[in-house]
A = this chain, B = another copy of it.
Amino acid sequence: MNQDYIKPDNWSIIEEGFDTDSVKSSESLFSIGNGAMGQRANFEEQYSAETFQGSYIAGIYYPDKTKVGWWKNGYPEYFAKVLNAPNWIGIDIEINGENLDLNTCVKVKNFRRELNMKEGWYHRSFEAILQNGTEVLVNVRRFLSLDLDEVGVINYEITPLNKEAKIVFKPYIDAGVHNEDANWEEKFWEIQNLNHTENQAFVTARTFKTHFVATTFMQNSILLNGKNKKDIPLKVENNNEKIQFSYEINILKEEVATIQKIGGYTVSLNHENTLLAAQNVIAKALKIGYDQLLQDQINAWAKIWEMSDITIDGDVKAQQGIRFNIFQLNQTYLGKDSRLNIGPKGFTGEKYGGSTYWDTEAYCIPFYMATKDQQVARNLLTYRYNQLDKAIENAEKLGFKNGAALYPMVTMNGEECHNEWEITFEEIHRNGAIAFAIFNYYRFTDDYSYIPEKGLEVLIGIARFWHQRANYSTKREQYVILGVTGPNEYENNVNNNFYTNYIAKWCIHYTLEQIQKVEKEYPQDFTRIMNKVKLSSSEMSEMKKVADNMYFPYSKEHYVYLQQDGFLDKDLVKVADLDKSQRPINQKWSWDRILRSPYIKQADVLQGFYFFEDHFSKEELERHFDFYEPFTVHESSLSPCVHSIQAAVLDKMDMAYTFYLRTSRLDLDDYNKEVEEGCHITSMAGTWMSIVEGFGGMRVKNNALHFSPKIPKEWDSYSFKINFRNQVLKVSINKNKTQFSLEGNSGISVFVNDKKVVVEPNSFVTV
């Protein structure tokens, strides 16, 4: 039922054979990125069949006007749109007078794509017979440099196979691009100027409204049989938004004509003069040269893999899946720039207009904490700290006061960037995840300094929000939280969502504890913060009253917390009993039908059990898992990983493995039939968690790493590394034993199934 055209391979994503129907999916799957920019796997040469063109620059967006049927107070004026950036990859190819176009060739043979994740490049090759009878072999390699992150490189080789050929390479840069997500085919880039010098061209354009300036550039070199050819006369064509060069070269059969194109973007986020910056970065790249740029790329990726690789033996598909996830996460965000964050589709598509969701705090931070140094996670926390004022403004728009903060559901710049009331106004649990990430960061890193420096202000804003958002129910004699949307977005405007109420209560208690601790241990910070936020002791005690007396819906019949009030009124038909033709329900059913159904899009009560695992017994977890799992349709990419982890805890290893495959190969196997639109980047961190926390059973308790290693029966062994407080611990698990090895200078104690194990540096311990 799912797609299966991707060849299993340990280190590469491989497609063989040309199929116009899978072009858009492959354009997503073979996307490349370097944290600063990204490029869908669009062809360089002309392609006249269906394609979804996409090239994205981190931090560049457009504020589209919010339009709704009946305007509701509190709607943000704008919602953010990811913009397709000007095209830098384009190279039209003319062979003996005919344009090369895979859609019009007489025949395409041996078409192959490879995304080499180990080395960080994308390669495409094919043989084509043109209508004029010329047969050519084409080899194209493309990568986005990790070191020079404004630069992309293309090496495009053509070999005529059956006769000599006149080849015209026509590389271009073009700011006349369209967005798929445009209401009226309107354009979002305004051209500022076009320049070119010999072999180099620059188009500087500015986004409408947001006024981000980007210079898109290219530099071309032509090679014959691998040697630079400098004597080719250059022809230039340009219009208002595009510059195209044209290089003609006549070659014999089996000779190789190559164009090396260096391209990319320099943007006003980083440079005052983007044109000058473009000229500089081209000079730098030229000096390094193509071969060395490629070698640097391989080295840079080797460094990333050294720390973040997970190996799986005995199961190629699982191995390929996890590496694809780790690779994509690193293509999307490298933690260098605290203005950036992790968009749900990364650089692989336009969808989910904004860049930052609660996905970052709930799913991505654990991955980055364990596979990078702690500064990266701190940058992600700081991103929210820097947006605290806007979160307070956002809460004020909704009628909260006195410094209460509601972080946006979707944001580019701290402002709310999405416009549906049931999401924007009501999916308030996101505030909880942002507080939880602060707790989690400290738990993992032991770096408490973040809390007095920055975190406590965020916590206080969030706690104030929950305090004001709850109301007292005289009927229940407890505090209730009405009108919310929980993590399960297949419910809207419900009362007393267990997860939301629980995390609200926790946020207030945790904040009050941190206030006490900061008061005692960081008196100067305490004074500074209290002067700023003006939190009185009576406000604190009111807050505490709310948290102490929070209501949770509970079924005495089933002994489970209810997802929300009224859940048991639903027609409780299990997913297994649902006709398969009805799935996925979000494509088959109308919204009201989804809402009144019992079906759960993604972990909701179970998300609470995941965050607060140690608040509940294993029996409680099992009861809730057994109650909710049968109603869960996993139509969110964020769902199966949590279920996989919990299934592993509960020794349901077959289920855990099934969920693992689903999360790790969600895009490769296209479970949700939407990979065309881009990959699900943020959930890929969940895949990592499902191995490390699920199968490996890793937890941090009382300042120590704990493991309860398990292994799916399909695997021989697996391994991963954890950067725990600047010590890198490698964990290798097979069916019989777990082996630990440690880099660094001092030993570490870990717990395996609650038994203490001491691991010395640079040596193995086997359990």
Contact A475 B398 (CB under 8 A): no
Contact A570 B425 (CB under 8 A): no
Neighbour of A73 across the interface among B75, B418, B426, B587, CB < 8 A: B587
Expressed in whole angstroms, the minimum distance between the Cβ of A517 and any Cβ of chain B is 33
Neighbour of A589 across the interface among B73, B422, B426, CB < 8 A: B73
Which of A9-35 touch B at CB < 8 Å? none
CA distance A595 to B482 in the complex (A): 9
Contact B587 A495 (CB under 8 A): no
Contact B566 A495 (CB under 8 A): yes
Contact B420 A69 (CB under 8 A): yes
CA distance A233 to B761 in the complex (A): 107
A-B pairs, top 5 by smallest CB distance, nearest first, are A74-B590, A425-B592, A483-B596, A72-B591, A482-B596
Neighbour of A68 across the interface among B399, B420, B476, B570, CB < 8 A: B420
Q: Which partner residue on chain B sits nearest A590 by CB separation?
A: B74
CB of A240 within 8 A of chain B? no
CA distance A496 to B592 in the complex (A): 14
Name the segment of A466-474, A599-607, A613-621 touching the other chain. Answer: A466-474
Contacts of A425 in B (CB 8 A): 590-592
Q: Which partner residue on chain B sits nearest A72 by CB separation?
A: B591
CA distance A572 to B475 in the complex (A): 11
Q: Which partner residue on chain B sits nearest A480 by CB separation?
A: B569
CA distance A595 to B476 in the complex (A): 20
CA distance A498 to B570 in the complex (A): 17
Report A557-580 CB contacts with B as 1/0, cut-off 8 Å: 100000001101111100000000
Q: Which partner residue on chain B sits nearest A67 by CB separation?
A: B67
CB of A79 within 8 A of chain B? yes
The 27 sampled A-B contact pairs (Cβ below 8 Å) are A69-B418, A70-B423, A72-B591, A73-B590, A73-B591, A74-B591, A74-B593, A183-B183, A397-B590, A398-B593, A399-B589, A425-B591, A425-B592, A471-B571, A473-B569, A473-B570, A475-B557, A475-B568, A475-B569, A482-B566, A482-B595, A483-B592, A483-B595, A493-B494, A496-B569, A565-B566, A565-B569
Report A405-437 CB contacts with B as 1/0, cut-off 8 Å: 000000000000011111101100000000000
Contact A482 B570 (CB under 8 A): yes
CA distance A595 to B483 in the complex (A): 7
CA distance A571 to B546 in the complex (A): 14
Expressed in whole angstroms, the minimum distance between the Cβ of A508 and any Cβ of chain B is 18
Query: Which residues from chain A sit less than 8 Å from chain B, CB to CB?
Result: 67-70, 72-75, 79, 183-184, 397-399, 418-423, 425-426, 471-476, 480, 482-483, 492-496, 557, 565-566, 568-572, 586-593, 595-596
Contacts of A473 in B (CB 8 A): 568-570
Contacts of A590 in B (CB 8 A): 72-74, 397-399, 425
Q: Which residue among A79, A570, A588 has the maximum number of chain B CB atoms within 10 Å of its CB?
A: A570
Contact A73 B586 (CB under 8 A): yes
Contacts of A494 in B (CB 8 A): 493
Contact A569 B476 (CB under 8 A): yes
CA distance A595 to B565 in the complex (A): 16
18 more A-B contacts (CB under 8 A) besides A74-B591, A421-B591, A483-B595? A69-B79, A69-B419, A74-B593, A183-B183, A184-B184, A398-B592, A422-B422, A474-B568, A474-B572, A475-B569, A476-B569, A482-B569, A482-B570, A492-B492, A493-B595, A495-B566, A496-B569, A565-B569
CA distance A494 to B494 in the complex (A): 8
CA distance A496 to B75 in the complex (A): 28
Q: Which partner residue on chain B sits nearest A475 by CB separation?
A: B568
Q: Which partner residue on chain B sits nearest A352 by CB separation?
A: B70
Contacts of A422 in B (CB 8 A): 422, 493
Q: Which residue among A184, A495, A568 has the maximum number of chain B CB atoms within 10 Å of its CB?
A: A495
Contacts of A570 in B (CB 8 A): 471, 473, 482
